[in-house]
Chains A and B, each alone.
Chain A
Amino acid sequence: MGVLRWAYPASRDELRQCLRDGARLHGGGTGILRRPPSEGTLADLSRTGLDEIAVAGSAVRFGGTATFARVLGAAHQLDPQHVISAALSTAASPGLRNRITLGGSLALFPPWSSLLGPLIALEARVELIGAHEGGVPVSDYLENAGLRRRTAITAIEIDPADGWGCHWYAFRRTRFTYPLLTVTVLTRHEGDSPASVRVVVTGCRGRYRRCRELEERVAADGIPDAVASSDLGTDFRDLQGFSGEYLAHRTAVEISRGLKTAGGAG
């Protein structure tokens, strides 16, 4: 039986070496504790200096090991109504938000993540080192398993979302529990009409869906009185207490609400 060893990379080069050696990464969050490894190498990323949060040109750049608590604080400073603020202010609990990292949450992509919908809707860019180096759109990172193998997320960049109205919603069984699904709606208006719309649902089959057909229709025809679940192309599994049909209907209702309320901030 093997043993578990710890590595403490203190630079990007040392982190690259850990990745080449096949180490698993630990940013500080809780995901790895759900299935702790009993052998191999775990690399603790807390000394790599990847936790900086900075404004870079017109974008905001969050270090991969920036915690939810720090990201929440920065997003709140940017704009108290920012979609990242809305999502992270109710994510987990204060103690857990001090540990869960942005990069870890994206890399593990748990179905209950509060973060994924906003990052996809904001068309975030993910910066990687390791087997793949450079920046990629967050949707490419999520869809291409090759980008997740032997790579580390060093930063996530988002535009400040200036001019976007936002609506974020999580459907939960109780106040302090993980979301069963989330809805993110961003709208940017010109006059009274929405010029751009982004709608993302998480928790559905395939983990997430960006509702592009609905986005195009709303941008062309305006905000509809109601959105039907059949308009979304999302499909939900039956869960304990909630049928997939109910969850799809709940999602459609929340998107309808979001298109109207997010529209107020154009």
Chain B
Amino acid sequence: MTGNLTVNGAPLLIDFDPEETLLDALRSAGFTEVKRGCEQGECGACLVLLDDLLVNSCQVFAATAVGGRVTTTAGLTGEPGVPHPIHEAYAATGAVQCGFCTPGMVMATFALLSGNPDPSDDEIREALAGNLCRCTGYVKIVEAVHLAAGRMRDDG
């Protein structure tokens, strides 16, 4: 099957098998910042925005995403190579260790801060409940979300 997607603002023609997931299609097309983790929707490593909604791309058939707009962690600023304040906050607080979970964490953080610019600790933990990190113990990640929220509020 073939179909059109818009990925990080650019049109993309994808070629995929009928049973293929959006995760597979994105990685095959070179978007390897979308990580393959549990493939059961439980680790959050593959999170992307699909039509502005946070989704686990391993739990979305590519065939149902055709025509949609996908944003990965690399596309948050709209300018290739330019980090988003959330990326910078994760680096500044030491919330990145092995880094495998980070793209998904960043996407869940972006989705949270898009609707709630000043979340509490509990709201952050609830928003990241679908993201697993085996390195950090989450304390630095919660710090990173607070830092990013503050910087994004300051930036208006």
Rounded to whole Å, the gap between the CB of B132 and the closest CB of chain A is 9
User: How distant is the Cα of A28 from the Cα of B126 in the complex, in angstroms?
Assistant: 23
Answer whether residue A161 sits at the interface, using C-beta atoms and an 8 A cutoff.
Answer: no
Answer whether residue B150 sits at the interface, using C-beta atoms and an 8 A cutoff.
Answer: no
Do A4 and B53 have beta carbons less than 8 Å apart?
no
Closest B residue to A4 by beta carbon equals B18
Do B54 and A3 have beta carbons less than 8 Å apart?
no
Chain B residues lying within 8 Å of A42, measured Cβ to Cβ, are: 18, 61, 63
Chain B residues lying within 8 Å of A46, measured Cβ to Cβ, are: 64
A33-B21, A176-B129, A176-B130 known; A99+B61 contact, CB < 8 A:
no
Do B129 and A98 have beta carbons less than 8 Å apart?
no
User: How distant is the Cα of A59 from the Cα of B120 in the complex, in angstroms?
Assistant: 34
Complex interface residues of chain A between 194 and 227 (CB less than 8 A to chain B):
none
Stretch from A74-82, A87-95, A129-137, A144-152 that touches the partner: A87-95
Chain B residues lying within 8 Å of A96, measured Cβ to Cβ, are: 41, 56, 59, 130
User: How distant is the Cα of A45 from the Cα of B39 in the complex, in angstroms?
Assistant: 23
A30-B59, A44-B63 known; A93+B130 contact, CB < 8 A:
yes
Chain A 163-196 against B: per-residue CB contact (8 Å), 1 yes, 0 no?
Answer: 0000000000001100000000000000000000
Answer whether residue B55 sits at the interface, using C-beta atoms and an 8 A cutoff.
Answer: yes
Answer whether residue A5 sits at the interface, using C-beta atoms and an 8 A cutoff.
Answer: yes
Chain B residues lying within 8 Å of A94, measured Cβ to Cβ, are: 54, 108, 111-112, 126-127, 129-130
Per DSSP, chain B at the interface is: mixed
Rounded to whole Å, the gap between the CB of B99 and the closest CB of chain A is 20
Contact of A93 among B1, B18, B53, B129 (CB under 8 A): B129
Chain B residues lying within 8 Å of A37, measured Cβ to Cβ, are: 19
Contact-residue size bin, chain A (C-beta under 8 Å from the other chain): 20 to 34
User: How distant is the Cα of A96 from the Cα of B108 in the complex, in angstroms?
Assistant: 12
Chain A 33-75 against B: per-residue CB contact (8 Å), 1 yes, 0 no?
Answer: 1001110001010100000000000000000000001000000
Complex interface residues of chain B between 39 and 82 (CB less than 8 A to chain A):
41-42, 44, 47, 53-56, 58-61, 63-64
Chain B residues lying within 8 Å of A125, measured Cβ to Cβ, are: none
User: How distant is the Cα of A33 from the Cα of B42 in the complex, in angstroms?
Assistant: 13
Do A98 and B41 have beta carbons less than 8 Å apart?
no
Chain B residues lying within 8 Å of A98, measured Cβ to Cβ, are: 53-55
Do A95 and B41 have beta carbons less than 8 Å apart?
yes
Do A92 and B130 have beta carbons less than 8 Å apart?
yes
Answer whether residue A246 sits at the interface, using C-beta atoms and an 8 A cutoff.
Answer: no
Chain B residues lying within 8 Å of A38, measured Cβ to Cβ, are: 19
Chain A 1-29 against B: per-residue CB contact (8 Å), 1 yes, 0 no?
Answer: 00111100000000000000000001010
Residues of chain B having any CB pair with chain A under 8 Å: 1, 18-19, 21, 41-42, 44, 47, 53-56, 58-61, 63-64, 108, 111-112, 126-127, 129-131
